[in-house]
Structure 1
């Protein structure tokens, strides 16, 4: 038996509710800065009531239910209520378009959708093309005409009995769709055991205790907020503070007022915070550590830790790895230019194109050893071919390129599919981006390949400058020539005000390529 055993999400919740009935579990601050609070006991009671609402609506074990919601308390209660009856949560991005949602609802075969009134137009106008969808429920609804669809109203009338439905730890609890670039999003199947495992790994890695409070400002539909923040707090009987949206100017103020001790960010939010006018009072917060993912320039790391007096820990994980297989140590030497070292329960190595382990210093694909359905995803939903390609002989092939340094730390190089092939030379877009980001006056850079008749691919950089910066393209290219090998220097640089991003701040490079192609067609 491993650390999870045969426990499920609802067994863990009920265990903690029995231990901490009157202790605050959830604090929520909405977009208007109103506060709402639920104790462990209140949360468990609401989960049972909502579970019975779902049962009355015909939601049975194994059925999919989509959540098209911003960060809110109803997201949390829906997640655990579905887990309570063995149903499967399908969280979606509120920025997804009507067409994107049509694909997700049909691919997941969701029979129920929970959303807000302002998003209804995405679904009512295409209802005839959603054959599986039987019902739509609404949260935070103020319209009288939808009172019979209002989740709060239905919960108030429901019984609070604990449903008598057997759920196994390896039953699927959620279907998380990964963003697609050249193909449709893939549905990652996450089990109850997966959730508990990642909670155990993260809580032990950052020494979380019952008096800690996780701060969630990233979207709840994303694995980061579910895996690392929510589950780590729940397994130790801690608490969670959730904001409806991320605010760069209010991040540390919210952390202080909500009593948060641990936070999670991505590279883009870190840069956004640094771009704000510094408020000296922001150092009087309660955060002891903030972990983050994605590359941040060394000067920005120093600036952030110095200004705000908080430790940063870079880590590496993806929806499919479930837990965090690589992380900088809390109590060891922190090297935040790296993505850390293997964490509890994982083995990680770098392999070449045929699967052989490479020597330190050489780059190759990052692969993670684990058990599908427990420490790794169970597989892709309705996509056996992609599952077999990703999960091979107990190893998960991440599609990310990395290397191990002489110091024993792992370093991210790039997405394998984000490598640029220029005149026979492989160029990691991340390396060029990092060089550009080190130049004073550059806020952020994103590098893509563009077609080139002579060299297969040319390098184009999109750059966001700091306010009042007047850097020129020639100036930046000259700088790159001094920092990079000739074949890595960008051919062109375009200055923009912002990048197209996913909900967690990742730059959508396929959209940058579309922008370039459209401009090229316009001028040709």
Structure 2
């Protein structure tokens, strides 16, 4: 038995409702608030409605729905029934959505139902034997399989007594998708126990308690979005919820709502620094800001000069459920470092044969947790891929890294982002960091492209701060900072780089674009 015991998600929500029914749980970006009791009542209303549609324990429901309070009501309404929320990226095309519906064998789909969704809905109706598509707006669709939830909820008084299900921590709750590289994305199964364990770790690492206000702007189809949410549920603090991150109004939001904790990534931080007036802004309410993805020391220093010494570097991936490595400020603090294993985790760096490396030797980062809830249950309907990723209880992350003499861990790059040039392994992240240290470079993304002689060579895509900076200036700068074989062979300037929904550079799109350009050139 571990700290999760025999609990499920519903028991956590019930406990907070019992403790503080009239306290505010959620504050939406427009200032509207929801108490814990109101949240429980709304969740019950949706659960009752879903049950009447035939949704029950084990039913998979796909959501392609922007962040909102209503989305939380729906997801937690499903959890009450023991159903499974399948989270689709809101940027997905209709073909992407169709793949997710087919891959997970889902029979229910939830969308907002605006005019832009009509093509998606018609596509799914024609391609898949769905039982019901649920929308929240009135659009004209000639199908008895499309239902308006608002109308359905208004007709359903929600007073049905829903029997408390005997759910196990091992029961599936959510499917979250990994980013695809060349293959289609894989669905990672999160159990009730996974979510509860994630909440415990997140609340502990970020020192969350009932007096905090957590500023949340990550999408719920991302592991960070749900991980932060369950940290809030565990701590019983207030959730300050925004549909999305917006750097241009970040400080305005901070001054208006006074959050104490948030989570960012390095891209967010660089975008904030491009907008904030550091001479006029000295009004931060933050005590802790977790962040992921390493960044240049210059950005680190500028950010903490403005917001205080609040940054905590975190490392995690969809398959690890939560944060297995943390660079905690209360211990010895090292820059550009993932830190030490979080409570309950063991981390190693191994060679290609699975043997543990010595300090400073590059290898693959692997991890395991004392609790079975600390890593994913597996990839949905992909047993072979699951076996390749989880071996003897160890999760193989696909990240290349090393550890130092103090057992602090460092990430060099994603294994798929290592550029192999004439027998040399080159980190794309290292080149990106050097490029972004140039005052005229706003942002950079580096990939490897095919070379007939050297196998691969680095190509850099750059967004400039100064339109007058030229390729030769960038090359000269890199030659001063990098070994000759790491200097980008090709440099291309762009107006902006393709990004994922959480602000990461979309390397897959850069690779596709880079390959086409190299062929044409």
- Tell me, yes or no, whether TM beats 0.5: yes
Are 1:136 and 2:133 counterparts?
A: yes
Between 18-27 and 514-523, the greater mean CA deviation after superposition: 514-523
Q: Would the aligned equivalents of 2:344 and 2:371 in 1 still touch at CA under 8 Å? A: no
Partner of 1:124: 121
Q: How far apart, CA to CA, are the structure 2 residues paired with 1:145 and 1:456?
A: 52
Partner of 2:473: 475
Deviations 1:289-328 (A, max 9, x none): 1111112111011111112335111110011100100011
Partner of 1:62: 58
TM-score, length-scaled by structure 1: 0.94
Deviations 1:90-139 (A, max 9, x none): 11111100111100111112221111122422433313444242111123
Secondary structure in structure 1 of the residue aligned to 2:34: strand
Give the drift of 1:342. 0.6
Partner of 1:214: 214
From 478, 501, 504, the counterpart of 2:502: 504
From 35, 38, 42, the counterpart of 2:38: 42
Q: How far apart, CA to CA, are the structure 1 residues paired with 2:370 and 2:128?
A: 35
Q: How far apart, CA to CA, are the structure 2 residues paired with 1:279 and 1:116?
A: 39
Structure 1 194/36 Cα, relative in aligned 2: closer, same or farther at 3 Å?
same
Q: Would the aligned equivalents of 1:176 and 1:188 in 2 still touch at CA under 8 Å? A: yes
1:35-434 matches, cutoff 5 A: 35-118=31-114, 119-139=116-136, 141=137, 149-156=147-154, 157-160=156-159, 161-227=161-227, 229-278=228-277, 282-370=281-369, 374-434=373-433
Are 1:516 and 2:514 counterparts?
A: yes
Give the drift of 1:405. 2.1
Q: How far apart, CA to CA, are the structure 2 residues paired with 1:45 and 1:344?
A: 35
Secondary structure in structure 1 of the residue aligned to 2:410: strand
Q: Would the aligned equivalents of 1:372 and 1:378 in 2 still touch at CA under 8 Å? A: no
Q: How far apart, CA to CA, are the structure 2 residues paired with 1:122 and 1:242?
A: 29
Q: Would the aligned equivalents of 1:445 and 1:464 in 2 still touch at CA under 8 Å? A: yes
Q: How far apart, CA to CA, are the structure 2 residues paired with 1:411 and 1:352?
A: 15
Structure 1 336/218 Cα, relative in aligned 2: closer, same or farther at 3 Å?
farther
Deviations 1:201-238 (A, max 9, x none): 111122211111111112121110111x1111111211
Partner of 2:6: 6
Q: Would the aligned equivalents of 1:85 and 1:167 in 2 still touch at CA under 8 Å? A: no
Deviations 1:42-75 (A, max 9, x none): 0011111111111100011111101111110111
Q: Would the aligned equivalents of 1:295 and 1:337 in 2 still touch at CA under 8 Å? A: yes
Secondary structure in structure 2 of the residue aligned to 1:126: helix
Q: How far apart, CA to CA, are the structure 1 residues paired with 2:27 and 2:280?
A: 23
Q: How far apart, CA to CA, are the structure 1 residues paired with 2:309 and 2:23?
A: 27
Q: Would the aligned equivalents of 1:86 and 1:166 in 2 still touch at CA under 8 Å? A: no
Structure 1 505/429 Cα, relative in aligned 2: closer, same or farther at 3 Å?
same
Structure 1 286/345 Cα, relative in aligned 2: closer, same or farther at 3 Å?
same
Q: Would the aligned equivalents of 2:98 and 2:124 in 1 still touch at CA under 8 Å? A: no
Secondary structure in structure 2 of the residue aligned to 1:295: coil
Unaligned runs of 5+ in 2: none
Partner of 2:492: 494
Give the drift of 1:279. 6.0
After superposition, the CA RMSD in angstroms is 1.9
Deviations 1:152-184 (A, max 9, x none): 443342324344322111100000011101101
Q: How far apart, CA to CA, are the structure 2 residues paired with 1:186 and 1:249?
A: 34
Q: How many correspondences in the alignment?
A: 516
Q: Would the aligned equivalents of 1:50 and 1:158 in 2 still touch at CA under 8 Å? A: no
Q: How far apart, CA to CA, are the structure 2 residues paired with 1:515 and 1:289?
A: 38
Partner of 1:484: 482
Deviations 1:484-511 (A, max 9, x none): 1111111111111111111111111121
Q: Would the aligned equivalents of 1:51 and 1:82 in 2 still touch at CA under 8 Å? A: yes
Q: Would the aligned equivalents of 1:189 and 1:379 in 2 still touch at CA under 8 Å? A: yes
Unaligned runs of 5+ in 1: none
TM-score, length-scaled by structure 2: 0.95
